[in-house]
Chain A
């Protein structure tokens, strides 16, 4: 544990700088005064609804909209044919693929968008959907990634000229195959396991939607929309629709959770814009929960054949992963261009060994598009799950305690910065220390004793460990872009004459507490109380350009920008203070909130006094502008590498397969903690995700491509009953290259926790000869595993 730095507090009782403080944004949320997209109502606003395909794969012969159009209150019905006339039937995805806005030739997944109704009310729009008559010819369906590779498999993307297979990309690889094969050849022990990370869904409590208002006179489009990346979206709309970018204002108001679900651009957003152009009135489109689950960005669906090689003493020599990735009907993943498998190649994990190799093949299936979402840090979730699961498989093979095996192989502090065998450079870490904190907190040795005693009595408890390393804060623009947009972020800061400030961010909060955290960063640098700093975000007309909030990038990228812009203002303040104090800037020294004369601390100016002077008549040196503001663009030199050790304790009823998570200890090292309360909240949420994915959540499909997870009755989310009172610890190893040493934490727990839960369950039922079982470990699946039967990932609810 690290002592929290003592900081002075403001008149309002808030820390001036870093520390715990209640969130500024809560004032409106606890009163029910948040402003989400569905809360936006404009005069004359119409409502849109989307007709979706009941089939996973079918040819469209005809669409008859006449009865829908005849319904009183219906203003327009738009089909793919209409969009073809406008050149808008297809749109680019964030991965240089194309996706149908409305289907023209055929539908490719169940729930695909087929027609769009615009009507005077939500209810009339829904009624009209029932009146649209679509004539389909069902086609053979590919609902299984492995079958997508069959020579006779139906071709899903026959819209692409000359396409004769279902391959998205044939081979993307990282690491050295020959070196890894050599390491395996010399190993005492090799363990191979097929590991599936099944398809899951981020399911933010607020679904996706938008309100589009195209002013027919000025030609300006204002789009209120559920987006995590307002600036990137604006540019894509400009490219898709040919709208002039300076006439597009994207407003992302309060967003009810994102988790990656609100990074892609969905047909519904585009359709609300089209609707507003066609009807010359504002159009709102809000999807319902089933639409959210069935058509928007899913996550994972990675089939990972994973192998590990070691000496008989348990020294890891190498790891290999062969991935088959299911991308659904369109390659709609959102990740840096040069990384088609995201950052999966960080799978070598937290351990010291020289040989790692992965290859990834991606296929189209008749399933919804997406793949990078659900707080995955660009597929590091999959990578961490693969390595942490296979390390446990190895421990079982060696009959070695999984904690001992990890401790034997963890990277040592003196190895940092550490160049991984797949090319990543981890910035800093004291892994063993973090792991020992976690083991101490959970009482590891006592738990093992308890486990042995219980087993003797026929009771099954399990202890699961996961040690994860993430690379977040994408990223250096030289290597990382999305659709050609470099992943740097701007930040503007204005200090007003009275010393109150406004800071403008390119990133957008979906609950992470940016209005508090970023005020604290500026406060830390300038000494202005956080209550005197307003954070402005989520409006492209009023904030600088940047790529938005996902991949845990807000603090590593925009947080650095906020610190640097404040330092720029501080430097300006020094010149102003020197002019006011009639001395040279070099004669001044900074203390929190004040420049003073070296050796004469009484002579000084507070930042508030300086702000007034900067806006006043004080004569400034030649070439120095007045006022007190600055802007920066932060291009990160590299990723930051948060890490942590999670230990989960479960009790399993072997008769029913029911898993009870008894305890969960999470020790995170995310570098400097700006607001520890918010950091802990982020971790809590991610741990619940991990329990959900490990035990309950699944988007399954039957062989006809019917989505079996299309409502919250079928797609099970963790409730308070499945979540224990999380026990958190921390170590603090600042990032050496981040201005305030922060590493980012938003996704750490979602990335790290599923393996801890699964490892605990497998540990519990290992006496039945179980080495692995795929998620979700529902009672039925645990029971099947105990009986020695293959588990099922084609249905979550039984």
Chain B
């Protein structure tokens, strides 16, 4: 069946099987490979994208459920060639190692900061508990999201 989804500001329309998962639609049909797949069961969060502004685990959503929605993936974070503060934060704070969980972790992290510009470290800790990282032990990820909080807000106030 035909499905149309706006991804990172661009309309994409494809004829797909109704059972196609959103993560496979993004990765296989649209060949956008930054969104990863890690577990099938919504536990790991490597596939996290935003659907209409809210983080969703794209391995447990059908592409047809995103019909007409605005989806943002990791590829949509860079604006005019400049890294988003969450991307800067992950780089500066060594918030990634193998990079596999990173896109999903950044999508969740950036959303948390957007929701609450004054979010505390402990709130971030709880907020990312649905995203698993096997490499970093999370401390630097918390630092990275705090970096994004501090720098995203300074941009707004500037």
A30 and B96 contacting across the interface, CB-CB below 8 Å = yes
Q: For B74, give the chain A residue with the smallest CB separation.
A: A32
From A10-18, A458-466, A711-719, the one touching the partner chain is A711-719
Tell me whether B102 is interfacial, beta carbon within 8 Å. yes
Partner of A719, one of B28, B132, B139: B132
In the complex, residue of chain A having the shortest beta-carbon distance to the beta carbon of B35: A32
| Residue of chain A at shortest CB distance from B28 | A122
Interface residues of B in 34-88 (CB under 8 A from A): 34-41, 43-44, 46, 73-75, 77-78, 83, 87
| Cβ-Cβ contact count across A and B, 8 Å cutoff | 169
Q: How far is the CA of A256 from the CA of B46 in the complex (A)?
A: 11
CB-CB nearest in chain B for A675: B94
Asked if B98 contacts A205 (CB within 8 A), the reply is yes
Q: Do B41 and A205 touch (CB < 8 A)?
A: no
On B, residues with C-beta under 8 Å from A are: 17, 19-20, 24, 27-28, 31-41, 43-44, 46, 73-75, 77-78, 83, 87, 90-92, 94, 96-103, 106, 125-126, 128-142
What are 14 residue pairs bridging A and B, where the CB atoms are less than 8 Å apart in the complex? A22-B91, A27-B91, A30-B96, A34-B100, A39-B33, A206-B100, A255-B98, A289-B39, A511-B99, A685-B134, A723-B137, A725-B139, A726-B137, A726-B139
Main secondary structure of the interface of B (DSSP, over half): loop
A660 to chain B, nearest CB (A): 13
Chain B residue at smallest Cβ distance from A509 = B98
Contact A711 B41 (CB under 8 A): yes
A206 to B134, CA, bound (A): 10
Question: Does any Cβ of B come within 8 Å of A123's Cβ?
Answer: yes
- B132 touching A712 by the CB < 8 A rule? yes
Q: Closest residue of chain B to A123, judged by CB?
A: B17
Chain B residues within an 8 Å CB radius of A512:
97
Q: Which residues of A contact B137 (CB under 8 A)?
A: 683-688, 723, 726
Instruction: Tell me which of B20, B90, B98, B126 contacts A256 (CB under 8 A).
Output: B98
Q: Is the interface of A mostly helix, strand, loop or mixed?
A: loop
Contacts of B98 in A (CB 8 A): 204-206, 254-257, 510-511
Asked if A274 is at the interface of the complex by the 8 Å CB criterion, the answer is: no
Chain B residues closer than 8 Å to A290, beta-carbon distance: 40
Contact of B126 among A39, A203, A204, A721 (CB under 8 A): A721
Docked pose: A717 CA to B36 CA in angstroms: 18
Partner of B138, one of A26, A204, A254, A688: A688
A-side contacts of B32, CB under 8 Å:
32
A259 at the interface (CB under 8 A from B): yes
Docked complex: A14-50 residues within 8 A CB-CB of B: 22-23, 25-36, 38-39, 41
* Docked-complex contact A205 and B46, CB < 8 angstroms: yes
- What 0/1 pattern do residues 668 to 702 of A give for CB contact below 8 A with B? 00000000011011111111110000000000000
Given A32-B35, A512-B97: A723 and B90 within 8 A (CB)? no
A619 adjacent to chain B (CB < 8 Å):
no
Near B by CB (< 8 A), chain A positions 477-515 give 510-513
- Given A687-B137, A720-B129, A256 and B142 contact (CB-CB distance below 8 Å): no
Q: Closest residue to B43 on the A side, CB-wise? A: A712
Task: Give the complex CA separation of A681 and B134 in angstroms.
Answer: 11
Binding site for B on A (CB under 8 A): 22-23, 25-36, 38-39, 41, 122-123, 203-207, 254-257, 259, 288-290, 510-513, 677-678, 680-689, 711-713, 717, 719-721, 723, 725-726
Given contacts A204-B134, A205-B38, contact A256 B99 (CB under 8 A): yes
Complex CA–CA separation, A205 to B73 (angstroms)? 19
- Do B134 and A203 have beta carbons less than 8 Å apart? yes
Distance between B61 CB and nearest chain A CB, rounded to angstroms = 16
CB proximity of B93 to chain A, nearest CB, Å: 9
Contact across chains for A254 and B99 when beta carbons are under 8 A apart: yes
List B contacts of A513 (CB < 8 A).
97
Distance of A683 Cα from B136 Cα, bound (Å): 8
Contact (Cβ within 8 A) A33 B34? yes
Q: Is there contact, CB below 8 Å, between B41 and A25?
A: no
On whether A31 and B126 interact (CB within 8 A), knowing A22-B91, A123-B17, A711-B39, the answer reads no
Q: Across the interface, do A257 and B129 meet the contact criterion of CB distance under 8 Å?
A: no
Residues of A near B35 (CB, < 8 A) are 32
Known: A32-B73, A205-B38, A289-B39. A719 touches B129 (CB 8 A): yes
Shortest Cβ distance from residue B16 to the other chain A in the assembled complex, whole angstroms = 10
A678-B94 contact given A32-B74, A39-B33, A719-B132, CB 8 Å threshold: yes
Question: Which 7 pairs, one residue from A and one from B, show the smallest C-beta to C-beta distance?
Answer: A32-B34, A511-B98, A256-B100, A29-B99, A684-B137, A511-B97, A32-B74
Check B41 against A677 for contact (C-beta < 8 Å).
no
Complex CA gap A481/B27 in Å reads 40
Tell me, in angstroms, the Cα distance from A680 to B78 when the chains sit together: 28
- Partner pick for B96 among A29, A33, A721, CB 8 A cutoff: A29
Q: A288 vs B41: C-alpha distance in the bound complex, in angstroms?
A: 11
Q: Are A685 and B41 in contact (CB under 8 A)?
A: no
- Does the CB pair B100–A26 fall under 8 Å? no
With CB as the reference atom, state the residue of chain A lying closest to B38.
A205
Contact A712 B99, beta carbon cutoff 8 Å = no
Chain A residues whose C-beta falls within 8 Å of the C-beta of B92 in the assembled complex:
22
Select from chain B the residue with minimum beta-carbon distance to A261: B134
Contact B34 A681 (CB under 8 A): no
With most chain B CB atoms within 10 A of its CB, the pick from A30, A513, A682 is A30
> Among the interface residues B38, B78, B102, which one has the most CB atoms of the partner chain A within 10 A?
B38
User: Cβ of B36 and Cβ of A684 under 8 Å apart?
Assistant: no
Chain B nearest CB from A691 CB (Å) reads 8
User: Cβ of A720 and Cβ of B125 under 8 Å apart?
Assistant: yes
CB pair A681 B36 closer than 8 Å = no
Whether the pair A257, B83 counts as a contact (CB closer than 8 A) is no
User: Which single member of B33, B36, B40, B138 contacts A205 (CB below 8 Å)?
Assistant: B36
Residue of B nearest to A682 (CB): B97
**Chain A proximity of B111: nearest CB distance (Å):** 15
When the two chains form their complex, are residues A725 and B142 in contact, meaning their CB atoms are under 8 A apart? yes
Beyond A289-B39, A712-B44, 20 additional contacts (C-beta under 8 Å) are: A23-B91, A26-B90, A26-B91, A30-B96, A30-B106, A31-B34, A32-B35, A38-B33, A204-B98, A205-B133, A256-B36, A289-B41, A289-B44, A511-B97, A511-B100, A511-B135, A684-B140, A711-B39, A719-B130, A721-B129
Q: Are B136 and A685 in contact (CB under 8 A)?
A: yes
| B100 → chain A closest CB, angstroms | 3
CA distance A290 to B41 in the complex (A): 10
Residues A712 and B134 in contact, CB atoms below 8 Å apart: no
A35 to B100, CA, bound (A): 10
A190 to chain B, nearest CB (A): 38
Q: How far is the CA of A721 from the CA of B133 in the complex (A)?
A: 12
User: Are A711 and B17 touching (Cβ within 8 A)?
Assistant: no
